[in-house]
């Protein structure tokens, strides 16, 4: 698929007087339309709800857009719960999926009436001790081993390795946990699982659904409980590279429906509500990092230095992840130069692109880094004293709005205690009077 920016150079030039680079920008129109597609794809299920993974893009303006489109939120920490509560989410609009959970976080989820998803069998006692056992509770499943999908000339396509993941419990542990929870007063039960990340296959969700639907039938019978909810979690990916195929959410929804009709309906479980947690798929393509070329360097390779760095977008440095790059205003120019596109961190992995064919980049050119709408700004950090960048919303009417200002040095120093150093430097100011 062709990668095109959702903004023009002229639009960015209009933003720059208000918000200098670097900044992340999000496409409100694209996010809303995508949320509607997801809801349509699963509209066959009466209880369906998309729980947006807050960790992907924890900004209240984005969460408000998704709330207006009928989505819930998936939270994994106290602050994500607090953020969601402030936006107006409550009760069953919140899914709390956490691991190694602090008591304060669990208590907050319980007090909000959120759906609590237990990551481990030991969490049953922990939940009762620190908060209480709610009427509805989920358990997270880990089948172990390797999750494969389909068969090609090379064999089965390995999607991921659940057996190496720290999340979830075995089927036997799940059965025992449901029995204990039922004895402690729980009445409604759900199953959750996440078996693969960023998949580019319309078959992943239906395959996962088949596994979880069959599991639900077995667990329901073995534990003597009614499974009312099945959460397929995330894992549906996006095409970061221009040569990758985009997932068809309508085909995915239809594939899950067929598994539902094949497995759950004959088992008398046709009332099960299906949930999803599509963070990356929901917002990933509708965000970009806009940055400016500020240096060039010619040694053994050709380098272009940006005013952004890995502190603004960690994925390339952390995972070697590919993010497509467009030089705004030069979309039709030949890609006849090869660059390493880099930031200013004192780390050699601070590279947005390595040996990337691009148009000739001049100092001052605007560089648009695609697909940062999930796990982009959210993974920002302050190494080297770098400051997190601003976030801008491109509104449906074409206007723009600052939805997170850039950090300042004052923010960076705000949590430090300088008092002992001031006392040494200015002892007279601290004498008792």
Instruction: Kindly report the CATH number assigned to the domain that includes residue 300.
Output: 2.40.37.10
| pLDDT bracket for residue 180 (50, 70, 90) | very high
d(CA 305, CA 326): 15
Are residues 165 and 64 part of one domain?
Answer: yes
d(CA 227, CA 121): 17
Helix (H), strand (E) at residue 256: helix 249-259
Q: Do the domain assignments include residue 87?
A: yes
d(CA 274, CA 256): 9
Q: What is the torsional sign of CA 134, 136, 141, 147?
A: negative
Are residues 68 and 213 part of one domain?
Answer: yes
Write out the residue range of the structural domain in which residue 268 sits. Answer: 28-283
Are residues 290 and 274 part of one domain?
Answer: no
Q: State residue 166's pLDDT score.
A: 79
Place of tokens 């918000």: 19
Q: State residue 150's pLDDT score.
A: 56
Selected residue with higher pLDDT from 21 and 142? 21
When mean pLDDT is compared across 144-158, 178-192, 289-303, the lowest value belongs to 144-158
d(CA 345, CA 340): 14
Q: Do the domain assignments include residue 138?
A: yes
Number of domains, the chain: 2
Q: State residue 428's pLDDT score.
A: 73
Concatenate the DSSP letters of all residues of 144-211 into one string: -S-EEEEEETTEEEEEE-GGG-S--B-HHHHHHHHHHHHHTT--EEEEE----SSB--TTHHHHHHHH
Residue 91 gets which letter from DSSP? G
Output the domain CATH number for residue 146.
3.20.20.10
Say if residue 422's pLDDT is above 90.
no
Mean pLDDT of 196-220: 94
Q: Do the domain assignments include residue 3?
A: no
Q: State residue 307's pLDDT score.
A: 98
Q: State residue 147's pLDDT score.
A: 65
Are residues 179 and 42 part of one domain?
Answer: yes
Say if residue 155's pLDDT is above 60.
no
Q: State residue 151's pLDDT score.
A: 45
Q: Which of 117, 108, 52 is nearest to 81 (CA)?
A: 108
Say if residue 46's pLDDT is above 90.
yes
Q: Which of 290, 354, 288 is nearest to 321 (CA)?
A: 354
| Residue finishing a domain among 283, 312, 342 | 283
Q: Do the domain assignments include residue 374?
A: yes
Helix (H), strand (E) at residue 109: helix 103-112
d(CA 47, CA 92): 12
Phi, psi (degrees; rounded to nearest 5) at 265: -60, -50
Look at the chain and count its residues.
433
- 288-343 residue pLDDT tens: 999 999 999 999 999 999 999 999 999 999 999 999 999 999 999 999 999 999 99
CB burial readout 351-365, b (16+ within 10 A) else e: bbbeebebbebeeeb
Say if residue 145's pLDDT is above 80.
no
Q: State residue 203's pLDDT score.
A: 93
- 90-118 residue pLDDT tens: 999 999 999 889 999 999 999 999 999 99
Q: Do the domain assignments include residue 389?
A: yes
Selected residue with higher pLDDT from 420 and 324? 324
d(CA 360, CA 329): 12
Mean pLDDT of 131-135: 97
Place of tokens 């056992």: 133
Are residues 187 and 109 part of one domain?
Answer: yes
Q: State residue 26's pLDDT score.
A: 98
Q: Do the domain assignments include residue 20?
A: no
Q: State residue 194's pLDDT score.
A: 85
């Amino acid at each position: 698929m062709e990668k095109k920016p959702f903004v023009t150079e002229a639009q960015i030039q209009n933003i720059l007087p208000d918000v200098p680079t670097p900044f992340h920008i999000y496409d409100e129109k694209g996010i809303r339309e995508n949320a509607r597609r997801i809801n349509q794809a699963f509209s066959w299920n009466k209880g369906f709800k998309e729980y947006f993974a807050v960790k992907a893009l924890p900004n209240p303006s984005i969460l408000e857009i998704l709330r207006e489109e009928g989505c819930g939120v998936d939270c994994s920490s106290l602050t994500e719960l607090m953020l969601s509560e402030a936006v107006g989410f409550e009760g069953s609009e919140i899914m709390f999926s956490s691991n190694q959970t602090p008591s304060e976080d669990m208590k907050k989820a319980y007090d909000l009436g959120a759906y609590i998803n237990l990551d481990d069998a030991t969490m049953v006692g922990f939940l009762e001790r620190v908060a209480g056992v709610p009427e509805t509770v989920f358990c997270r499943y880990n089948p172990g081993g390797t999750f494969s999908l389909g068969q090609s000339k090379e064999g089965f396509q390995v999607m991921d390795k659940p057996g190496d993941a720290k999340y979830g419990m075995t089927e036997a542990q799940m059965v025992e946990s449901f029995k204990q929870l039922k004895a402690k007063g729980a009445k409604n039960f759900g199953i959750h699982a996440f078996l693969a990340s960023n998949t580019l296959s319309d078959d992943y969700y239906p395959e996962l659904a088949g596994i979880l639907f069959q599991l639900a039938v077995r667990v329901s019978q073995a534990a003597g409980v009614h499974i009312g909810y099945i959460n397929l979690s995330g894992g549906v990916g996006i095409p970061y590279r221009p040569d990758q195929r985009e997932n068809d959410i309508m085909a995915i929804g239809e594939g899950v429906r067929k598994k539902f009709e094949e497995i759950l309906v004959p088992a008398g479980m046709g009332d099960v509500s299906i949930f999803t947690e599509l963070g990356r798929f929901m917002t990933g393509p509708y965000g970009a990092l806009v940055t400016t070329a500020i240096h060039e360097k010619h040694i053994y390779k050709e380098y272009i230095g940006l005013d952004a760095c890995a502190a603004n977008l960690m994925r390339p440095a952390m995972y070697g992840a590919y993010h497509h790059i467009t030089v705004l205003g030069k979309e039709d120019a030949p890609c006849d130069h090869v660059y390493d596109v880099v930031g200013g961190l004192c780390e050699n992995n601070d590279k947005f692109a390595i040996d990337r064919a691009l148009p000739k980049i001049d100092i001052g050119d605007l560089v648009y880094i695609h697909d940062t709408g999930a796990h982009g700004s959210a993974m920002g950090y302050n190494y080297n004293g770098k400051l997190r960048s601003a976030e801008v919303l491109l509104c449906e009417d074409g206007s723009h709005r600052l939805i997170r200002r850039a950090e300042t040095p004052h923010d960076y120093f705000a949590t430090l205690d300088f008092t002992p150093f001031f006392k040494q430097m200015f002892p007279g100011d601290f004498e008792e009077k």
